[in-house]
Structure 1
């Protein structure tokens, strides 16, 4: 990669870091595009199976191929003496032994056939060799099976793993992640060289995995005489998330990683006032983080006639009740509650606009709907581009947020909340703290008890009985600050404070 030199027309060079692909991350895309429109030179670095470069508005997107080696499971690279003492070493010898034992069997069979063809019986020594071969074949099978078991992904939840994590936490404190989850170094190997070549004035690190990468790159830049600033964008509260991997070490390692590098951020932004206070207290930040809501942009809100219609894609008439859930499909998102309530809501159709329409979880929901006799009223659709979401959803009657009680579900107004609001849909939300309080205060919808299908059905019936009452809330100034343009001004002001000298 040969990045272009900064031109005088740019206010400064910003490098944004994302640990994954960006096509489903509307927050990341909007930040990059709006920063470029405000005059910053923006490079957005993500991670994908293949390297590529493209433009996103005025921002340049570089998708980087992950570094390999560090992220490989360690149990697949060394002997497992305690759990599988008879396993072959993971060096290819198992395959050789299987071929060798099969070749030996073929040799025995060939010599036996020659003896019979000559009219005699196989000699005693050949029968003894055949017996030895059978024992050897069982031995090879046993050792091969042990190797296969040793290579299976382990559930790191046993006392050994918990003790290992506690030991390194006691010995190394917040630096323990280097032993508990060394795969975090893969991000350094993937992103570090490219960041250094781009020589940014400011690094915007999205979420906890990119924080360490951004902090180390900023330090390297400062050591070379450049005044590099670091903005950490905390998308969620790490202690409150479900572990991404089945490993007792993972969450502790990532919390320690975040704790070590949070102090290097020149500024912190996040998604809600509640989370801002939690981060300030947890990391003893000198200032409360700035709140940047992931609200739709004006362009996303205004339909230009090219965006598809959810109702049309479902094949429904205008007077057919339609409720929609838009977002990730997972058990904790509460979609099962919506399916369970369908027999209680005659004639109400349900649409799921999800990231993986053919996933095992969504397939199970379809099967559940069929068992309940309501399959004809359940519609599943893939995501549409983020700039089409609001007009796409606007033809529904209700937007639903049925999420379960998890710490991170309690503390923010999530993306779909703003999308539903800008689509002017009444909202039916489970009684998670922040969103339930907002809906009750604004009057834009109804609240139900999480995971309670009967109470969810009550809330839906209440809205459908008088939808104009709930939609009327949107005729006030409620939505004025729930646009991306308002959020982009806050972020642009922050960049300016960090980079532009005071007059």
Structure 2
């Protein structure tokens, strides 16, 4: 099986997007499949047009000259489509697997139809909702509606559609996409990277001035993550648990505002910002945290999309507490594998975290249950099998001549 992946961006850039991609491609390679990846213009200018990173062959698209929307997006689609076509000539894929956002899917669709290749389009989040969550778009705007319509148009024409969670699947079905056409390939964890619970690094803890009641967040600082609510919860938490501290590892658009909020807090000395750390160092910081907190705000993006970070924490046998948005409810069973608290409510956050710190008797059993859930249902080595029947069906139909664009597979 030869799979050509089409990506917005990839390694060596580091993000949840690139880590999911890495896990998928490594798991497919472990099955003996041949894989290659084409990255889009948003990878940025690179020194090499072709390079192997972490064992994966990447082919880079030269970014076109920037133009105002929508001309800039059209140029990106054209540039990526040209590179996909060039790579397809050499790689000879059985299936093209394009990953959201929609620009990459559109570029892949043009090549797939010209070359009579089947296309699987994978959605990790709706681009229009991600723009709202990142503060670069407005729900219900003309651009928002146009992007949603384009995504629906593409899903109707792809041969199969993969989504990362039930929330996205349900939304597509409501748009009229046939349920049989959609598979759920949930976020998973590479247990080779996150499989061993980290030991506490006493030296690092001493260096950072951390004690034995540490609440942590490790990830990107976007508004929708709700870190402002977590910081706002700290005075009440410290009042209930005087030794409680907050450790924030990462960075992003909200970092300056969050640092200013923390500096103005009456418990500012209990809040530590670390900044971004290399991926290889992340485990050291997981080992310092007693409870990983994920206070995502309630909005369409967080209700529909499941995050990756709580799964990584559960794999590391960390205690997890998260807001009760839809994406978290798909991953966490309240009181069983984690704790859920009311979203957008600092008082609820403080109460939930104080309760966890006050009674640790259930922590060992909860850690085991959370780890078992990841091993059984969110392990990439087994998750990857969800793609196989779709790939096989599409590839065999193409080989025996029964596959046609806009066939019943496309309904």
Scaled by the length of structure 1, the TM-score of the pair is: 0.67
Q: Is the 8 A contact 1:300 1:390 kept in 2?
A: no
2:393 aligned partner: 497
Number of equivalent positions: 375
2:321 aligned partner: 428
Pairing of 1:447-466 with structure 2 (within 5 A): 447-466=340-359
1:321 aligned partner: 213
Aligned partners of 2:284 and 2:390: how far apart in 1? 31
1:45 maps onto 2:38 in alignment: yes
Q: Is the 8 A contact 1:236 1:408 kept in 2?
A: yes
Pairing of 1:473-484 with structure 2 (within 5 A): 473-476=366-369, 477-480=372-375, 481-484=377-380
> Match for 1:281 among 168, 174, 183?
174
Pairing of 1:4-403 with structure 2 (within 5 A): 11-12=1-2, 14-22=3-11, 23=13, 24=15, 25-46=18-39, 47=41, 48-51=43-46, 52=48, 53-68=50-65, 71-73=66-68, 181-199=70-88, 200-207=93-100, 208-222=102-116, 228-238=117-127, 240-243=129-132, 245=136, 248-285=141-178, 287-303=180-196, 312=204, 315=207, 319-344=211-236, 345=238, 346-356=242-252, 361-384=254-277, 389=282, 392-403=285-296
1:103 aligned partner: none
Q: Is the 8 A contact 2:163 2:183 kept in 1?
A: yes
**Would the alpha carbon gap of residues 492 and 385 (structure 1) be closer, same or farther in structure 2, given more than 3 Å must change?**
farther
Aligned partners of 2:374 and 2:364: how far apart in 1? 12
How many angstroms does 1:304 deviate by? 9.6
SS at match of 1:20: coil
Q: Is the 8 A contact 2:338 2:366 kept in 1?
A: no
The runs of 5 or more residues in structure 1 that have no matched partner are 1-10, 75-180, 223-227
How many angstroms does 1:398 deviate by? 0.5
How many angstroms does 1:406 deviate by? 0.8
Aligned partners of 1:294 and 1:279: how far apart in 2? 18
**Would the alpha carbon gap of residues 408 and 42 (structure 1) be closer, same or farther in structure 2, given more than 3 Å must change?**
same
**Would the alpha carbon gap of residues 26 and 189 (structure 1) be closer, same or farther in structure 2, given more than 3 Å must change?**
same
Deviation sequence 1:212-258 (CA, Å, 0-9, x none):
11111101111xxxxx1211111114564444645844322322221
1:82 aligned partner: none
Q: Is the 8 A contact 1:50 1:65 kept in 2?
A: yes
SS at match of 1:457: helix
**Would the alpha carbon gap of residues 17 and 384 (structure 1) be closer, same or farther in structure 2, given more than 3 Å must change?**
farther
SS at match of 2:293: strand
Aligned partners of 2:244 and 2:290: how far apart in 1? 10
Q: Is the 8 A contact 1:366 1:378 kept in 2?
A: no
SS at match of 2:374: coil
**Would the alpha carbon gap of residues 451 and 205 (structure 1) be closer, same or farther in structure 2, given more than 3 Å must change?**
same
1:119 aligned partner: none
Q: Which has the larger radius of gyration?
A: 1
How many angstroms does 1:303 deviate by? 4.1
Aligned partners of 1:291 and 1:389: how far apart in 2? 28
How many angstroms does 1:338 deviate by? 1.4
**Would the alpha carbon gap of residues 394 and 66 (structure 1) be closer, same or farther in structure 2, given more than 3 Å must change?**
same
1:96 aligned partner: none
How many angstroms does 1:72 deviate by? 1.5
Deviation sequence 1:22-55 (CA, Å, 0-9, x none):
4222111222222223222222122333133321
Deviation sequence 1:429-454 (CA, Å, 0-9, x none):
11213424753456233222222212
**Would the alpha carbon gap of residues 308 and 428 (structure 1) be closer, same or farther in structure 2, given more than 3 Å must change?**
closer
Scaled by the length of structure 2, the TM-score of the pair is: 0.81
> Match for 2:332 among 435, 439, 443?
439
How many angstroms does 1:470 deviate by? 3.6
SS at match of 2:120: strand
Aligned partners of 1:239 and 1:310: how far apart in 2? 44
**Would the alpha carbon gap of residues 301 and 184 (structure 1) be closer, same or farther in structure 2, given more than 3 Å must change?**
same
How many angstroms does 1:389 deviate by? 4.4
Q: Is the 8 A contact 1:209 1:254 kept in 2?
A: no
1:81 aligned partner: none
How many angstroms does 1:335 deviate by? 0.6
